[in-house]
Amino acid sequence: MNSEIFQSFVSILRKSSPSISDGELKVPLPSEATASQMVEDTLKDVGYSFDEVRTIRQGYANISLSAASWSGTCPIHKSWADLFSIVENTSKLPSYFYVLETNQSSFDDTQNKRALELFCSFRQLLASLADQCEPPQDGCAKGSRKLFYIIETDDGVTKYDFKPTLKWSELKEIPTENGQLSLVEKLRKLIALGDSQDSERRSVMRSAFHEIISACHSNSEIFKRILGSIENFHKRYEEHHDLFVRRFSINKVLHEINEKDLTYTSKINEILSSAQNKALTIPGALIVIGAVMKIDQVVDGIAVAIGMLITTVIVHRSLDVHNSTFKHIEKQVTAEFKQYDVLNEKVEIRQRAQQTIKELSDLLDSKRPMIPRGVLVSV
């Protein structure tokens, strides 16, 4: 069936005043001689099992509403409530339908139709966010009987299990005129982009879901509450996602600060260790000389003294370089961590950077006196 064929069928129903009797729809036929043939052709095209004897007789087309009389599902429904009972079981709105109660079809953009579309789309979104579904099979009907959520919060773990449905009298009153359906479709796409952030967006969406329904007194209220709060749900998701991105950015910078802290701490310790090793060169050399050399002449003593003097000067200059390096590192630490002060909105980053500067400065101050001074002219 295509839309043009079904449009012809709808036109026939709307032009007449059909009535229901014994499970059949009685449609008065126009008086034109060609009317019967046109109705017959249209019924066959829409998938009706046309009976040459019973379907058209005495000026009426008698159309059975039982599923057995149609090649697919019967597109005619007595009321919107009847159509909703089908949608409730399948989570899918038929492509073509006609509701006798209001003489409206799938071609009409009505509040009732939008409410059913919203019901299906939002139920499928909630199934995508749930931890477990009944039934669990993928498809439109996934989670149509029950949804299970286990959401971690700052206070612990919260569990929800609820049936994602409500009464037709409640559903038809759900607002749909402000683009709620497009918001739901947008949310569904956000967790199905196929990138590495799908799971993160899903987690953020679950957090927004929890925030809205946490005020429900019972699980039976959940679906109606969240379905009637789609605009708020979308807004909360965007707020939560913005916080998540900010938090991720902050954590990344804090990690960077911690790495720099570790790098500078290692440098300071390496410089101190090197300085202490060099300072021990002089007494070590004296011990070695005393152990292996026998100084009998003044010339030998003078040579040793000159050698020790040269060693002392070299070590002194080396230690002086280390001390200058300490001062340079202190300036470098201050300059490098000052860059984080420009992140005006990231108070946590500024505080961490300032704390790191203080800790490294304190470390430098505590390590500088440990550079041996016996051979230094000044520090």
Instruction: Give every strand in the sheet of 24-28, ordered side by side.
Output: 19-21, 24-28, 60-64, 56-57
The confidence score (pLDDT) of residue 72 equals 84
Whole-number pLDDT of residue 295: 57
* Together in a domain, 211 and 171: yes
Per-residue pLDDT, 344: 44
Report pLDDT for 92. 93
Task: Write down the pLDDT at residue 164.
Answer: 94
Q: Is residue 146 part of a domain?
A: yes
Structural domains in the chain (count): 3
pLDDT of residue 329: 66
The whole-number pLDDT of residue 147 equals 96
What is the predicted pLDDT for the residue at 360?
66
Q: What is the per-residue pLDDT for 345? A: 45
Same domain? For 143 and 206 the reply is yes
Low-confidence residues in the chain, pLDDT < 50: 342-345, 374-379
Provide the pLDDT for residue 172: 94
Q: Give yes or no: residues 208 and 296 share one domain.
A: no
Model pLDDT, residue 314: 59
Q: What is the pLDDT of residue 375?
A: 42
| pLDDT tens digits, one per residue of 347-363 | 665 666 677 767 767 76
Q: How far is CA 319 from each of CA 14, 209, 316, rounded to the nearest angstrom?
A: 101, 63, 5
Q: How far is it, in rounded angstroms, from Cα 2 to Cα 7?
A: 9
Is residue 274 located within the same domain as residue 193?
Answer: no
Residue span of the structural domain in which 321 resides: 253-370
Which of 51, 78, 105 delimits the end of a domain? 105
Q: What is the pTM of this model?
A: 0.68
Q: What is the pLDDT of residue 44?
A: 92
Judgement on whether residues 226 and 302 belong to the same structural domain of the protein: no
